[in-house]
Amino acid sequence: MNIATLHYYFPTKEALVKGVVHHALGRFRTTLTAEGGATDLVRSHFEGLRRLGREEPQLFAVMGELALRAVRDPGIAAIMREIDETWHATLRGLLRRAQKDGALDKKIDPSDAAALIVATLKGVYLLPAGSLRQERLTQALRQLERWLGITRGRTSLASVAPRRTLPRPVE
């Protein structure tokens, strides 16, 4: 695509970045709109991210670029900050509701757990990792879900589970 054409639709680079972020955020929000209780929502958030990672991997590449570009660009940094806090607040609220529903251990601090979830998801999805990426991603999320007690049971979701790209290393 001709660069001048790009400038026709997005007058500045900053406008383009904002457009991309806007689109990406819309896609990410689809992972938090499922029906059901708080636990189901958290579960489907994880599942939705796995699906996006499979079907629209560019979304994560783009967010990774932005996250790292935020170091130098105060405008992008502001956007990322807001995303982070909104994300954290949403998860915190869901976990608190899950505790009220009796689905989450009451000894867990919802804010701490939300921070851990956000950090982990950012770690696995935004940072490029080597050939074992998919394997490590699956492992990290599995452990997180186990501790949260939201592991998927024998649900139909198993059909869309991420394929193991590499056999589990025998140790």
Partner DNA sequence: CATGAATGAGCATTCATTCAT
Partner DNA sequence: CATGAATGAATGCTCATTCAT
- Give how many residues touch DNA by CB under 7 A: 12
Q: Is 40 helix (H, G, I), strand (E, B) or coil?
A: helix
x/- track of binding to DNA for residues 10-49 (CB under 7 A): -xxxx-----------------------------------
Based on the shown chain and the rule CB under 7 A, indicate whether residue 71 belongs to the binding site for DNA: no
- Residue 21, judged by CB atoms within 10 A of its CB (0-12, 13-18, 19+), counts as middle
For residue 45, give every residue at least 6 positions away whose Cβ sits within 8 Å of its Cβ, in sequence order, or none: 31, 32, 34, 91, 94
The contact set with a second copy (CB under 8 A) reads 61, 64-65, 67-71, 77-78, 80-82, 84-85, 88, 92, 96, 108-116, 118-124, 126-132, 135-137, 139-140, 142-144, 146-147, 168-169, 171
Shortest Cβ distance from residue 101 to a second copy (Å)?
A: 17
Contact footprint for DNA (CB under 7 A) = 1-5, 7-9, 11-14
